[in-house]
Structure 1
């Protein structure tokens, strides 16, 4: 089977693409990637990946553009659509899996124009604009949040499944602000650091490269020198495995990686996310009593400390492991193969 995986722009979409290509290659099949030269696509797959070929086309987001900017963006998508058609033909691609984001537009429309099956994975609780537009034409639309989705769960890298465990005691807490960091989460970590230290709770903290120096200096001022501090790291699977609880933004990939690993989390949604989708991602977790969610605000410190005190950690961790499906990426790719061979 030869498949195209397309999409990206942000790390959340690209982590899904990474999980899917891992499943494709493990089954002895071939996948190419079509993304954009904007966003984080090249950072993820530009030098090292399991894709046989990677392409980064000149596209940009359309939804947030206005006037002439929107026309220019649409023209770029049209040119990229023509390029994507040639690429799909050249590699004799049999199907395309879109993981969403503006990077997915060109290859998704090219796939439909060639009458090849398009599969879509929606990573957020609130469907994105492009995925909503393409959904009626897709062979399959997969979402971990929709009860009528053919496949339940969320595709994450196998390492999060293999290292999953029930958290019974809070010995280590990890603060995650995403690849760019989050000042609200960094400030929250600093504000509770001494109280956590007094309770014997170890801190792991990914502060983001732009705020790393400030955070490092603040920890020194507090006299706390045993924090495991990072700007950006690719060792998150190992760090999450070590943690018993997380404080995090509610981007879909991080949310499901934590959930799959059985790590309960206190979510602080990014307030400016498109369509407020991070809030709805986290609300899904709270509605199922799998974790906590609070908006940015002055009471975050007390709310986090209350969550830690009343955590019911083992109960939430066990429920996370019961809820999450294993081998979701493999199941998604197996379905593509079965439908192609039907």
Structure 2
């Protein structure tokens, strides 16, 4: 097996010959972007990356230009037994076989995954071949696959220290959640927005949030009248996305430059996915969080509570938000600069500035240790 050697120019330890790693991450930005950040860091140090994903998910549009993408027929596990249980299990078995064959034929040295159902075949296949697997769990409340298979992993990297109460502590290490490299330095804003105005960003995560969109559009006239500018990321599933217009209101499905946008934002309205919260913390952005009410096991509310307890955010349940309450809460916050500054400071305290490197270093150590056996 190849071993690592020092790079005399960079001081980093890099593979003497390329070590092949399979990254299993699928579905939403919360799973994909942390994995992508780690993959880019490892690739820069000479590692050879291949991606394991699922058809018709975000990775099919995000990754082909970056890494080879291999697709397996996985789908989510049901909480209760039902008519589809047999189909899901059949797809799991097929996915394990395909992943195992890929790992063998491609002579991979390990597996990295950020959870979700794609992690199951990756972890099981790696375990069956005696290969190391490294799982990253970014949510406070770990998902079912993480809870079921974390004991089979070489190490479980955590985004939040609070997650240790739900998992075996023996192989859990808190590293924070990796973010893309452009979040770590000042990034210009793509929009023509004056420097001296308050900017609010409304974002529903990588898949949008139609209910939040509708509420924001109802409240937008009052916010705009108060002098606020708004960038609204509507997602691609909102058929009313173009129903409201104003010179100081920008509605777009998706933003490729979230780093620049959040660095400029004075207040964010957002769901509470772990990836989004990591970006808010990294950019020190105050926020109003509206957890997705149908998230598995209400895990977004667990994430949001960490930010609320720290004083970095306010949280509202979607069902309790009225036009009047939402309008007033936003305006009160934007008019209170000391409060926004305090929320920004507390958000910064929740960030892990070197999370990507911590996770990449953990991966290197696990792979190197396995190669030396």
Q: TM-score, normalised by structure 1?
A: 0.89
* 1:28-58 alpha-carbon deviations (Å, 9 max, x no partner): 211111122253331222x312x2x220111
In the other structure, the counterpart of 2:117 is 102
What is the distance in 1 between the residues matched to 2:368 and 2:39?
A: 20
CA contact (8 A) 2:135 2:157 kept: yes
Of 25, 29, 48 in structure 1, the residue corresponding to residue 65 of structure 2 is 48
RMSD over aligned CA atoms reads 2.3
2:317 and 2:362 map into 1 onto residues whose CA distance is 38
Superposed counterparts of 1:200-215, under 5 Å: 200-211=227-238, 214-215=240-241
The answer as to 2:146 corresponding to 1:131 is: yes
Task: Confirm whether residue 37 of structure 1 aligns to residue 55 of structure 2.
Answer: yes
| TM-score, length basis structure 2 | 0.82
Name the counterpart of 1:191.
218
Cα distance change of structure 1 residues 227 and 177 upon mapping to structure 2, 3 Å threshold: same
Given that 2:274 and 2:300 are in contact with CA atoms closer than 8 Å, whether structure 1 keeps it comes out as yes
Kindly state the Cα deviation for residue 170 of structure 1 after the two structures are TM-superposed: 6.9
Q: Which moved more, 1:196-205 or 1:255-264?
A: 196-205
Partner of 2:5: none
Q: 1: CA distance between counterparts of 2:300 and 2:186?
A: 25
Query: Which sits farther off after the overlay, 1-10 or 147-156?
Result: 147-156
Where does the alignment leave 5 or more consecutive residues of structure 1 unmatched?
none
List, as ranges, runs of 4+ consecutive aligned residues in structure 1 with deviation greater than 4 Å: none
1:20 alignment partner, SS class: helix
Unpaired runs of 5+ residues, structure 2, are 1-18, 165-171, 189-194
1:260 aligned onto 2:287: no
User: Residue deviations 1:175-216, cap 9 Å, x none?
Assistant: 00223322332233223323322332211111122326x243
Secondary structure (helix, strand or coil) at the match of 1:60 reads: coil
Higher helix share: 1
Matches within 5 A, 1:200-239: 200-211=227-238, 214-219=240-245, 224-239=246-261
Say which is worse superposed, 67-76 or 128-137, in terms of deviation. 67-76
d(CA) in 1 for partners of 2:82, 2:184? 46
Alignment of 1:288-299 (within 5 A): 288-296=310-318, 297=320, 298=322, 299=325
Paired residues of 2:199 and 2:267 also in contact (CA < 8 A): yes
